Structure 1
């Protein structure tokens, strides 16, 4: 299982790291975001069904699946993730990239907090220190990104209530949803493939409901669902769908906290790929963050929480 977790984590790190470059290269500015997201969710469902059919669990699903069990395991996390994504969109428009990226990293802390509350999954002192090292690395990478892109200014009240507050609430929701997914997979023994399918369907329904009054919905009605698409646009969509399945596998096998390590490591992969394919050298902040990420992963793996005799 450890080798499987490592394999899926490496694949997810590469997917997360390469996704920004692939999306930038193969998705034109004319593509409507909602059409891309909905297509990605459909691709997730198809990929999950193919993988379930390959491992022979599709027939078992038809006999054991219940609506109540589905809503309990996947319905709430899906709604939470949909709300989180909406809050992030609001925040991103009202914060400079540096502030947004730094505040968005607090979801690692909230994931650890909610896994303790819901699953009683404790962290050793060394693991807590490793989490702080990871957050420091994420902050350094965010500073490097923000320095490159520059910072914007605006109304202080608007920045607070429409920028800082939404991204912090989104981080809390992200930690809660990640812990709920881990609870469903590890306690309720809900298959990660089934959760991917259920959450994609619920998320798509929420997104479709939003199109009645959203600018994207208006654009779809005016120009068509696949406006701005080319045959190459499907590449980042499928790549993102596979990443969604890997997220489910890593969360169910290793937990939401370890997924945070993957996400921060992927930022370094993005910086490396930008240097290789675009000639953009990584910032000094990224170079400092690299040993921090390696150290935090090593410490977190090496010093797991040990149950004391009295607790046992």
Structure 2
């Protein structure tokens, strides 16, 4: 019975992650491509900061509730003291590492998409699937059979084929994978794609620089995800996932505020306001990103980063299917071919052992 319950939790988390990321991709596309009421698009940096603030508040509330339940005799001030020590004592500082790495990754991705065409960027960036597996072997000592490596190579190839933009879809669907904190990079990358689609002139591209940046971003993506998993699953430290989310969101606030809001968009915010371009759909997008952060964290706890990558690849296919249905476009042959490869890779990877084992 306990095994059935554990399996139910695992696949429920995967299902929610697929649905959440599919919905997020569609709302991101709509809010970034279509300005609201003539006021222009909202600033990505403000949305990123709000995501971290909301995650911090929600994580704190859940962690406070969990601590009260585990220590029913403690008064609220004592619970707060206990929670404060849990967040900032011990190995909590280790979560500052992925916070910094996520900021570096965002910068690399912006540099990459600014110097590469969309197709090259999308295809090359799928290498993060393989870097995630490689760091899982190196840092977590996870053993992957030849069959599983083959499945991962097929997954990388299949999702790259799916994401090669067709001329008829390029202006309609600008999609890519999201990891727990890749909301930052996704928004900046989407801005650049929108400019390309609208034929807004930009600086000359340097393909060599762009390729180096996207390869470095792929490595950083794999490293940050696996590093977070290593900290969360450390058997010598018993800390809840909600406390880990507090730590990660707290350390992420600093680059989001100082590098994003103040340094990047400070002048525009002082001129037009913090909430320029916001509406109900923008807030929906923000809350979907918050949900995505929590769901990805639970996926890492109950499964692993590799299983999370499979779920995110499936969500891309779901998003594109919905996009094709809404716009009434014919199904591109590259989509059919790539989706078939992704599904076969999923079957191949899960055939020997359940996901997450």
Query: What is the TM-score with the length of structure 1 in the denominator?
Result: 0.87
Higher helix fraction (1 or 2) = 1
- The equivalent residue for 2:346 is 297
The reply to whether residue 142 of structure 1 matches residue 147 of structure 2 is no
User: In structure 2, what is the equivalent of residue 17 of structure 1?
Assistant: 22
Q: 5+ unaligned residues in a row in structure 1: which ranges?
A: 306-312
Of residues 280-289 and 99-108 in structure 1, the stretch that sits farther from structure 2 once superposed is: 280-289
Determine the structure 2 residue equivalent to 1:6: 11
Aligned to 2:74: none
Mapping of 1:146-185 within 5 angstroms?
Answer: 148-149=169-170, 158-161=206-209, 163-185=210-232
User: Number of paired residues?
Assistant: 302
How far has the Cα of 1:67 moved from its partner? 3.9
CA distance in 1 between counterparts of 2:343 and 2:325 reads: 21
Query: Could you tell me how far apart the structure 2 residues matched to 1:270 and 1:136 are?
Result: 18
RMSD over aligned Cα, in angstroms?
Answer: 2.6
Equivalent positions of 1:245-260 (< 5 A) are 245-260=294-309
Secondary structure at the aligned position of 1:149 is classed as: coil
Alignment of 1:224-303 (within 5 A): 224-303=273-352
Q: Are 1:33 and 2:48 matched, yes or no?
A: no
Report how far residue 20 of structure 1 moved.
2.1
How does 1:14-93 map onto structure 2 within 5 Å? 14-26=19-31, 28=35, 29-53=40-64, 55=66, 56=69, 59=79, 61-62=83-84, 64-72=86-94, 74-93=95-114
5+ residue gaps, structure 2: 1-5, 72-78, 172-192, 197-201
- C-alpha distance 125-204 of structure 1, shift in aligned 2 (>3 A): same
Residues 19-50 of structure 1, C-alpha deviations (whole Å, 9 max, x = no match): 12122335634211111111111122233234
**1:282, distance to aligned residue in structure 2 (A):** 3.7
- Cα deviation for residue 68 of structure 1 reads 4.6
Distance 1:280 1:245, change over 3 A: farther
Q: How does 1:75-114 map to 2 (within 5 A)?
A: 75-114=96-135
8 Å contact 1:97–1:145 — kept in the other structure?
no
In the alignment, is the contact (CA less than 8 A) between 2:123 and 2:163 conserved in 1? yes
